[in-house]
């Protein structure tokens, strides 16, 4: 049995397959996922699991060099923005319009759906290297 923190089979496999500058997305329960993008649905019920818990779990195994967030998170969900910044204090953030973020999901290896029920709780993680 796997000992490390990401024990979801599909999520662990996606993380293991990531290379430098590949994208992985994590989001709230309402984010539309483009056809053709793998969706790993972790949502059980409202707010379970929450966005930050899933993000924290992924960050335990994925090296991240940059993140992409919707501009709208600044005004519509500043609490979530602060939680993201607390988890990734040294990581560059690029803000894009929410419509662009939704389109960019088509470029990600997978979209991880959480049970999060707060607006604009969506992120694209750009993988870094560990050497």
Report the binding-site residues for substrate.
28, 98, 120-122
| Residue 20 annotated in active site | yes
The number of beta carbons lying within 10 Å of the beta carbon of residue 28 is 21
Alpha-carbon distance of 15 to 23, in angstroms, equals: 10
Alpha-carbon distance of 94 to 124, in angstroms, equals: 10
Backbone angles phi, psi at 65, to 5 degrees: -110, -20
**Which segments are annotated as binding site?**
28, 98, 120-122
Annotated catalytic residue, options 9, 20, 44, 82: 20
* Strands of 123-127's sheet in order across: 39-41, 111-113, 23-27, 123-127, 64-70, 92-96
Backbone angles phi, psi at 92, to 5 degrees: -65, 140
The catalytic residues are 20
């Amino acid at each position: 049995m796997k000992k490390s923190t990401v024990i979801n089979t599909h999520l662990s496999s996606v993380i293991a397959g990531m290379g430098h500058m590949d994208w992985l997305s994590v989001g709230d329960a309402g984010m539309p996922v483009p056809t053709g993008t793998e969706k790993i649905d972790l949502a059980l019920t409202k707010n379970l699991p929450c966005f930050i818990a899933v993000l924290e779990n992924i960050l335990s195994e994925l090296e991240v060099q940059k993140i992409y967030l919707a501009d709208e998170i600044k005004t519509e969900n500043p609490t979530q923005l602060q939680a993201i910044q607390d988890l990734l204090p040294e990581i560059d953030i690029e803000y894009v319009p929410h419509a662009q973020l939704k389109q960019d999901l088509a470029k990600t290896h997978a979209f991880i759906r959480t049970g999060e029920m707060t607006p604009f709780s969506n992120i694209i993680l750009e993988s870094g290297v560990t050497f």
